[in-house]
């Protein structure tokens, strides 16, 4: 197994500072390395980070960031396309995404890009993502249902008001009922 990089061994608060420095376009990797090493020295941490370790970490984070940007663009495209569609179709899309991720994960493991010690953590992340997506789908379905109930209640209230006004205006009982059914969306 490969030895953990010096970046992975950084205390979490210092790693966050490194990440912030790397996100800042005004700070070069050289400056970020120097700043982090100064912080490490000031807190009495025995390790230091090298320019190459910072560069590798930055490149890896940029690759992850690019994949995230791409997945967001794909998601936005599909949400725009399916946004008005029944929730079931969005659910099918989510299931297909999960299947693709699971397949990609197994291929990556077979190619040796993920070692056996990392695999359980990656699989756990995939499982957690599946659970989160399932919960999101359920919440979206509940929102659609709630929205339909609200619209139905509004139609019912409008029908009651229209019925009252129509009766006061002298409309026949049959016409009042026809008006009520039309507002409620009930076929005769």
pLDDT value for 43: 92
Predicted local distance difference test score (pLDDT) of residue 33: 95
The confidence score (pLDDT) of residue 176 equals 79
**Phi and psi, residue 28, nearest 5°:** -80, 165
Return d(Cα 49, Cα 35) in angstroms, integer.
Answer: 10
**111: three-class secondary structure by DSSP:** coil
For 6-54, how does the pLDDT look when each residue is reduced to its tens digit (9 = 90+)? 888 888 899 999 999 999 999 999 999 999 999 999 999 888 999 999 9
Q: What confidence score (pLDDT) does residue 92 get?
A: 66
- Per-residue pLDDT, 104: 73
Residue with token string 């953990």: 4
Residues of the chain with pLDDT under 50: none
Read off the tokens for 96. Answer: 């297909």
Report the chain's terminal Cα–Cα distance, integer Å. 74
CA dihedral 7→8→14→18, nearest 10 degrees, is 50
Query: Can you list the pairs that 25-29 forms with residues at least 24 positions away whose Cβ atoms lie under 8 Å?
Result: 29/54, 29/55, 29/58
- The alpha carbon of 186 is separated from its chain's Cα centroid by a whole number of angstroms, namely 39
Cβ-based burial of 162 (10 A; exposed 0-12, middle 13-18, buried ≥19): middle
């Amino acid at each position: 197994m490969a030895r953990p990089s010096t970046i992975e061994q950084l205390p979490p608060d210092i790693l966050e500072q490194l990440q912030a420095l790397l996100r800042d376009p005004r700070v070069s990797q050289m400056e970020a390395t120097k700043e982090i090493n100064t912080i490490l020295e000031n807190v009495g941490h025995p390790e230091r980070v090298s320019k190459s370790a910072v560069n590798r970490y930055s490149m890896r984070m940029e690759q992850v960031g690019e994949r995230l940007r791409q997945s967001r663009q794909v998601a936005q495209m599909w949400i725009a396309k399916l946004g008005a569609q029944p929730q079931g179709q969005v659910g099918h899309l989510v299931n297909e995404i999960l299947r693709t991720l699971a397949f990609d994960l197994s291929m990556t493991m077979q190619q040796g890009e993920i070692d056996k010690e990392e695999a359980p953590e990656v699989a756990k992340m995939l499982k957690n993502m599946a659970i989160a997506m399932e919960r999101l789908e359920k919440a979206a379905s509940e929102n659609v249902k709630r929205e339909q109930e609200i619209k139905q209640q509004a139609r019912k209230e409008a029908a009651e008001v229209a019925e009252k006004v129509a009766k006061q205006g002298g409309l026949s009982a049959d016409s009042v009922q026809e008006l009520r059914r039309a507002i409620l969306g009930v076929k005769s």
